[in-house]
Structure 1
Amino acid sequence: MTRASLDKQPHEVASMFDGVAANYDLTNDVLSLGQARLWRKEAARAVAARPGHKVLDLAAGTATSSLPYAATGAYVVPCDFSLGMLREGKKRHAWLPLTAGDATKLPFKDDTFDTVTISFGLRNVQDTDGALREMYRVTKPGGQVVISEFSQPTWAPFRTVYTEYLMRALPPVARAVSSNPDAYVYLAESIREWPDQPALAALLQKAGWSKVAWRNLSGGIVALHRGVKA
């Protein structure tokens, strides 16, 4: 299996990410034209980790996204269900408590974390509603969720250009820089099919989160959603 289908069977998605683990971070930087680093920085700013805080970083992959949280003195748990990604992360960051886990069945107790965050991974989960409920369950009362995910550009002409890039330009670029370019065809399709900003906000509210809001990055290519557990 080189790529997952849009019904997002967990074993297919995990296998696909296992296959791109070694060059995943580099490929993302190339395909996002360097914007991926900016998006990670904005997510870290929204999380606002500090000493004594417990942060769960879901879909953490190789744990690159977890490093800013650890640097603040917070206790961060990078969690992913791709064992290939976790193995690659362990090679690079052996000191981090990388943990295997499914976002819909998290291996943590209720009310454990001050913040649960997921960057560019929620749309790969088969049961979005279930994942949002699980995030709510493991978050402490008063804690927050921070979701960084691809979304819909807000300016219609740019939205058209962006969609064309995803479906026409991204696959050839992926063939040049990725060990598994078919995986990036799936990623482009999954971005196109993902709910827009208000729709994701509604899903968060449905799962129990309050004070739900979002902020657009890069003209809405990415949206940063936040919610609080009352």
Structure 2
Amino acid sequence: MVSVNIDSFKAVAKIDDRVHKLAQYLFCEKSDTKACFTVISTHHAASFYHGPHKHWDPKSTGNHTMTICNQAGQEFQTKIVACNPEVDFVIVSSDVPFVTVAPRLCLPNKSERYILLGYPKPNTGYEALEGIITSVLLDDEGRLRGSRGSQRGYNGGPMFNYKGELLGINVADKSSQQCIGLSNRSTLEKPFSEINDAFPSLSVMVPSCILASSSF
């Protein structure tokens, strides 16, 4: 006779349901790259700056426009209202609201579990990763580290805690393992190196509070 753990099935179902609800805040750029955008308010969304977005001039915000889509394929015409190459994020705004209810923003806590959404396979739907906040030490640009996120397709994706609160967006890329953002703060160099060694596929999070202060 096969033993079935009903409680474990219920737990998985709850997580799947939670992820499905959070996916309303994951948008993507209408392009071949399908870059992630995260809704941070009813009229604002954020993504990473590096790679395909690095040609945007921070001094010319408002002159660039782009189209992003929600999970249903609905298109939104947006304009770029903020670019920060150092912290690695861009913010776009839309006259038409992205969602009816904005995500609740929250500061991350050490060892807090998170759910990261993204598009690791451009021709399919979104997928989710689970991770933990590995440290609340900020790098030179005010960013944090998580245990997972540098995999392809999760750049710009939202990072939620298990309460459904938006902690920030992931901006990790292949340079993340080299502790980007650190310069001469020698007191932090060793702790960050240890974090990177322990979590080789770590995420780099721009906290939602930084994104909010740049857009509202």
Q: TM-score, normalised by structure 2?
A: 0.25
More strand by share: 2
Structure whose alpha-carbon radius of gyration is higher: 2
Tell me the TM-score normalised to structure 1 length: 0.24
Structure number with higher helix proportion: 1
